[in-house]
């Protein structure tokens, strides 16, 4: 897929992340020179962020669509295997990016995929599905 996408920051997160740490692995955090799909060096087992009070603004501002209650409780990213968030895409504009945390989750779970497509229609935003640890993506435009 060509075109860059940047997470849209939102500090209104209303669900507690609990033991999910998906974004601390999945996201690129330039302030930490952390690449995508690489566990952050500050992530501590069972304790979460080791620099919580000093974490960079990219971390402070991020919340996924599950944390913001756009998706049902059952779809917490570490449980569903999918992490979804709003992005500003260079070509598509405001979009929903869905990234696989485990291989094959998107193709295996039509129920989950349908929930995301339904959200896409409600929000009138295209969805970019990105395969596990890959640049391979497919795009669904709401009708």
Q: Which residues bind ligand SF4 (CB under 6 A)?
A: 17, 20-24, 29, 40, 42-43, 49, 51, 55, 59, 63-64, 66-67, 76-77, 83
Per-residue tokens: 133:
């640890």
Q: For residue 125, report the phi and psi dihedrals to the nearest 5 degrees.
A: -130, 140
Output 39 or 91, the one with its CB closest to ligand SF4.
39
- Closest to 133 measured CA to CA, from 22, 55, 49, 31: 22
Q: Please state the closest distance from residue 64 (CB atom) to ligand SF4, in A.
A: 3
Q: Please state the closest distance from residue 96 (CB atom) to ligand SF4, in A.
A: 14
Output 55 or 132, the one with its CB closest to ligand SF4.
55
Output 9 or 141, the one with its CB closest to ligand SF4.
9
CB 58 within 8 A of CB 27: yes
**Can you tell me the distance from the alpha carbon of 60 to that of 87, in angstroms, rounded to the nearest whole number?**
16
Output 60 or 141, the one with its CB closest to ligand SF4.
60
Q: Please state the closest distance from residue 143 (CB atom) to ligand SF4, in A.
A: 28
Q: Please state the closest distance from residue 101 (CB atom) to ligand SF4, in A.
A: 9
């Amino acid at each position: 897929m060509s075109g860059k996408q940047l997470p849209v920051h939102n500090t209104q997160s209303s669900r507690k992340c609990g033991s999910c740490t998906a974004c601390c692995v999945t996201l690129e955090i330039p302030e930490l020179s952390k690449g995508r799909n690489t566990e952050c060096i500050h992530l501590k087992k069972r304790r979460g962020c080791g620099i919580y009070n000093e974490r960079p603004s990219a971390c402070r501002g991020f919340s996924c669509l599950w944390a913001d209650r756009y998706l049902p409780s059952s779809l917490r990213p570490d449980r569903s295997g999918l992490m979804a968030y709003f992005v500003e895409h260079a070509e598509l504009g405001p979009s929903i990016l869905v990234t696989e945390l485990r291989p094959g989750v998107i193709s295996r779970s039509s129920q989950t995929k349908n929930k995301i497509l339904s959200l896409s229609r409600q929000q009138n935003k295209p969805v970019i599905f990105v395969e596990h640890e890959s640049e391979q993506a497919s795009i669904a435009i709401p009708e």
